[in-house]
Amino acid sequence: MRSSSWAPASAVVAKTATDSSSNTASALIVHSVAEYVVRRHHVIPIVWDDMLRQMTTDVVRESGLPALGVELMVWSYVKDIYRFVPYSQWTQFAALFPRVWIASAFKGAFGETLTVPNARWHLENNMAWLSVAREQRPHFAEVRGLVLTGWQRYDHLAALCELLPAAIPSLALSLISVTFGAFDSK
């Protein structure tokens, strides 16, 4: 673990005010929060990957996130995961983070006005994740697990979408499929 002291996010932003890279500022803010969590709560922070996707390996490394032991949560809610998280991105992530989590969704990921989840789309996403996990596993020390997310709303002012009672069939289908590693409609 790095021995640098925690600084409030405002201090980190001020420190990087001369740096025109918003990626660098973002990485330093995430590092500041992650370092606080490690020092104060003695847990391993998990960082969602989308903030890091546009950053170079050097920016992420220099931010200190990998040295803190932060673990990465890579998410995508579609069938074609490599379209949103290309193979080259996985190579970069593997060079920085030895352990990775993956995230799919059982509800709420396909539109804020939907009332019932499309279980087929979620099943396809989960099956795609199992395939990606098998393919990417050799590049990481560990693929920690698959997190099934269930979006409730798209922002704090939005109406609720796909309420849990309507999503239970999709949740059950997703859980059974990822538990057994396959789905057979028969």
Q: Please give the pLDDT value at position 84.
A: 94
This prediction has a pTM of 0.83
Q: What is the mean pLDDT of residues 16-42?
A: 80
Sign of the dihedral defined by the CA atoms of residues 180, 181, 182, 183, in that order: positive
Write the CB contacts of 95 (distance below 8 Å, at least 6 apart in sequence): 57
Is 1 or 135 the better-scoring residue by pLDDT? 135
pLDDT digits (tens, 9 = 90+) for 70-110: 999 999 999 999 999 999 999 999 999 999 999 999 999 88
Q: Which pLDDT belongs to residue 19?
A: 41
Mean pLDDT across 155-159: 88
Residue 124: predicted pLDDT: 96
**How sure is the predictor about 21, in pLDDT bands with cuts at 50, 70 and 90?**
low
Mean pLDDT of 152-178: 93
Residue with the bigger pLDDT between 13 and 164: it is 164
Q: Are strands 99-107 and 71-75 parallel, antiparallel or unpaired?
A: parallel
Task: Quote the tokens at residue 28.
Answer: 């330093």
- The average confidence (pLDDT) of the chain is 88
